[in-house]
Structure 1
């Protein structure tokens, strides 16, 4: 959708996923570090739920692109004309992420799926998104082309990072790097919407002003800095929370141990009194 909502929708999807990952991966990392194997089953269930949500988001995106009032309504070619190819490109992007969600689900539900295929398909989905965006803005204004081209850095960088996860699976550095790029995607989609389709009657940006292009480039760096801060803050919060829980849990265990020792000593004393 070539409007504000058409950019806010995928932006919201990516932002939700990125924020969730910024909490999930630190949790998983600290539990694995503590060798808490009891939680593996729960993490697998979370992965399946996450895959289902990814598929749901993709289906919602496809339906929104197809069946908006000015959408193609599943018509690709009609009366010697291509129908709403921009919407079809967006649908193609969502389709690849839906396939990624299906592979994610199969990875944790079917034992015969090779480990790492889920990361490979996700890398392909992100690469496809970048490939589509590269050819998405031809014959557009300079600002329109530039603001979309900046997104390619996050997409192709994310694709390379996810490809490395095929080999270095469960690497917390790669996972957090991917998370930061997904958050960047989410916030930048919103930024594109505000720049190209200003809501609430705000003045339109000059699409040919060089100063606007310079500002948008700088703004992209700010967006990524915010994404890194979000990842760092959530990582720290998860660490502090787990440390506090572990500390309180240790105290409770200590109290229980003292109580059991006291009970054992009382039983011994009672037994000795009876013998007398």
Structure 2
């Protein structure tokens, strides 16, 4: 994406979608139980605005289309640019648009139950193509920038494996939860990359941002090997800290819904004893 704003904007969207799926996955599992749980690749907005039931799919599809066109729009110059790197980024969003568009069409035609397995395949293709295009990226990601992208590939690879498990075992709650958490992690990592690689004041000590003709190219260069090793260690710590924060949030949500479920069960037992 090559700029601060696209990284942070895309990261915010992925984080929001991941949190939405995390909360709904835990909620659904607590309500239905392990025996009746079945994974969903999207969650409807039933309350309070039931008319916006398909908001997630519409939002996902719209965001993907806008992101595709954004790749070919050179800012601040208003003209189209069809560079290879832009085509690679646009193709990643293309597969997300295919998945969300297919899922939305199935829902509107009431055929989602029959084609849920196909939706799983399409979801797996989103991550598989993202991993493929990231690994064979035309951009020369070296040094600390390359390390950030390598950690991103780990997230996408784990997401791909989890989605394949969910597609084969749609009642597997742990795998479904892992998929949601990895989407959150990918979104947070996108935002972290935007700040650490595109904000000069946040560049690690001993490193600097490559600037040519007053333009920031986003490539962080470290002056010494020690500075490079320190920058990589900081990236690893950021990765671990972000994951820790996500796990704390997940534990809090899990305890909250478990507590609510126990309270409702106690009320039902109390009513039964009175009868």
Supply the distance in 1 between the matched residues of 2:113 and 2:238 (Cα, whole angstroms). 45
Residue in 2 that maps onto 1:22: 22
Moved more, 221-230 or 134-143: 134-143
Q: Tell me: CA distance 1:31–1:100, structure 2 relative to 1, closer, same or farther (3 Å).
A: same
5+ residue gaps in structure 2? 47-52, 208-220, 223-227
- CA deviation string 1:46-73 (max 9, x = no partner): 6844322221221232233333525785
Supply the distance in 2 between the matched residues of 1:152 and 1:92 (Cα, whole angstroms). 16
Residue in 1 that maps onto 2:62: 56
Give 1 or 2: higher helix fraction: 1
Supply the distance in 1 between the matched residues of 2:89 and 2:247 (Cα, whole angstroms). 27
Q: Tell me: CA distance 1:137–1:33, structure 2 relative to 1, closer, same or farther (3 Å).
A: same
Moved more, 48-57 or 165-174: 48-57
Larger Rg: 1
CA deviation after TM superposition for structure 1 residue 17, in Å: 0.8
Residue in 2 that maps onto 1:148: 149
Moved more, 157-166 or 106-115: 106-115
Question: Is 2:229 the partner of 1:210?
Answer: yes
Equivalences, count: 243
- Say if 2:25 and 2:177, in contact at 8 Å, map to a contact too: yes
What's the TM-score once normalised by structure 2's chain length?
Answer: 0.76
**Aligned runs of 1:173-184 on 2, under 5 Å?**
173-184=174-185
**Aligned runs of 1:1-276 on 2, under 5 Å?**
1-33=1-33, 48-67=54-73, 69-70=75-76, 75-76=81-82, 83=83, 85-108=84-107, 109-110=110-111, 113-136=114-137, 138-198=139-199, 202-205=201-204, 206=207, 207-208=221-222, 209-248=228-267
- Say if 1:23 and 1:238, in contact at 8 Å, map to a contact too: no
Moved more, 181-190 or 215-224: 215-224
Supply the distance in 2 between the matched residues of 1:224 and 1:54 (Cα, whole angstroms). 24
Moved more, 126-135 or 58-67: 58-67
Q: Tell me: CA distance 1:250–1:150, structure 2 relative to 1, closer, same or farther (3 Å).
A: same
Give 1 or 2: higher strand fraction: 2
- Say if 2:72 and 2:80, in contact at 8 Å, map to a contact too: yes
Supply the distance in 1 between the matched residues of 2:87 and 2:79 (Cα, whole angstroms). 10
Supply the distance in 2 between the matched residues of 1:246 and 1:107 (Cα, whole angstroms). 36
- Say if 1:15 and 1:186, in contact at 8 Å, map to a contact too: yes
5+ residue gaps in structure 1? 77-82, 259-276
- Say if 1:59 and 1:98, in contact at 8 Å, map to a contact too: yes
Q: Tell me: CA distance 1:35–1:154, structure 2 relative to 1, closer, same or farther (3 Å).
A: closer
